[in-house]
Homo-oligomer: A and B are copies of this chain.
């Protein structure tokens, strides 16, 4: 028994009167020992309350079974303020644990990661930015990584995503009459879901001959959002497509503050969903995401990569539309 208070494999060997190898084999079920020997060892291990030292084991295998989870933040948002991320983090955790690995919650910051010498077996990166520094860091450190969304300037490596392009195109097809002008309000285009959503909107606009105008807000500030809305009005757009749920909520609040009727004067749709959007007044039509499914697929893909199983470079999950009061399906009136 060592100072630590914990039995080592040596103690077990001595106690059972066998060699180290025998203990190791007996516990890991490797070599084919006689049942009698094995039982004796198991018994000894039990008695001594022996638990193999994970670090020592890791030193040999150069793996501790740790998988990093990194979520790239957006403007002034954190995991706790964005339903989608909290949901992703939860489900990723579960998927990682189900595979016998442990999830480590890491910040989207290469400098911090460099200083934090944690030996990761792999990583899941949510919503990478363009030229994502963390993704680059993982590559340089040889940490296998699967992303949800992709680095638009550097889209190598396996990734998983909602099919934002098709989703937005379909959303517009079902909520906007051909010919109506649509204003797209965005915050930044550093993430692939924004780029893909815009592409979907353009594709739709082309196909039905609608006009599409884009406004980019610098922040969620009232002044910024009001400025965008002013331009929307000048263009006489009948529909506003918000890049995401938080922006949609904000736009709705400012529209109401300005006395505009939704959906009477202008309709509002959001390219991402969140529980909040059901409870606004009026509730907001949006595209539903699948954090649980994406998390599972991403984890599955990562473990395939780690085990050398060939994987698909990209996997897209179709989105669904949640019709709500801010923009009913065309034809519904």
A4 is an interface residue with CB less than 8 A from chain B: yes
Query: What is the oligomeric copy number?
Result: 2
Q: Does A119 contact B (CB under 8 A)?
A: yes
Q: Does A156 contact B (CB under 8 A)?
A: no
Please encode chain A, from 278 to 297, with 1 for each CB lying within 8 Å of some chain B CB and 0 for all others: 01100000000001000000
A56 to B107, CA, bound (A): 24
**A residues contacting the other copy or chain, number (CB 8 A):** 47
User: Contacts A5-B142, A55-B59, A59-B55: A116 and B100 contacting too (C-beta < 8 A)?
Assistant: yes
> Chain B residue with minimal CB distance to A116?
B102
Tell me what chain A mostly uses at the interface: helix, strand, loop, or mixed: mixed
A141: chain B residues at CB < 8 Å are: 51
- Distance in angstroms from A12 CB to nearest chain B CB is 16
Contact A56 B59 (CB under 8 A): yes
- Using a CB-CB cutoff of 8 Å, which residues 114-168 of chain A contact chain B? 115-119, 141-142
How many angstroms from the CA of A276 to the CA of B112 in the assembled complex? 33
What residues of B have a CB within 8 angstroms of the CB of A86 in the complex? 79-80, 86
Q: How far is the CB of A97 from chain B (nearest CB, A)?
A: 6
A52: chain B residues at CB < 8 Å are 117
Tell yes or no: A76 within 8 A of B by CB.
Answer: no
A86 to B291, CA, bound (A): 15
Checking B57, B89, B91 against A89 with a beta-carbon cut-off of 8 angstroms, the contacting residue is B89
Is A305 close to B, CB under 8 A?
A: no
Return chain B residues, CB-CB under 8 Å to A119: 53-55, 64
Q: Taking the nearest CB of chain B, how far is it from the CB of A180, in angstroms?
A: 30
Instruction: Tell me if A328 is interfacial: C-beta within 8 Å of chain B.
Output: no
Q: Is the CB of A104 within 8 A of B104?
A: yes
What is the 8 Å Cβ interface bit string for chain A, positions 1-30, against chain B (1 contact, 0 not)?
A: 000110000000000000000000000000
Residues of B within 8 A of A4 (CB): 62
Q: Find the B residue at minimum CB distance from A5.
A: B142
Shortest beta-carbon distance, A93 to chain B, in Å?
5
Contact A105 B118 (CB under 8 A): no
Which B residue sits closest to A64, measured CB to CB?
B55
Instruction: Offer 23 A-B interface pairs, CB within 8 angstroms, sorted by A.
Output: A4-B62, A51-B141, A53-B119, A54-B118, A54-B119, A55-B58, A55-B59, A56-B59, A57-B117, A58-B58, A66-B118, A69-B105, A79-B86, A79-B89, A80-B89, A80-B291, A89-B89, A97-B107, A102-B104, A102-B106, A104-B104, A105-B105, A276-B279
Chain A residues with CB under 8 Å of chain B are 4-5, 51-59, 62, 64-66, 69, 78-80, 83, 86-87, 89-91, 93-94, 97, 100, 102-107, 112, 115-119, 141-142, 276, 279-280, 291
- Please name the 3 residue pairs, one residue from A and one from B, whose CB atoms are nearest each other, closest first: A80-B86, A54-B117, A80-B87
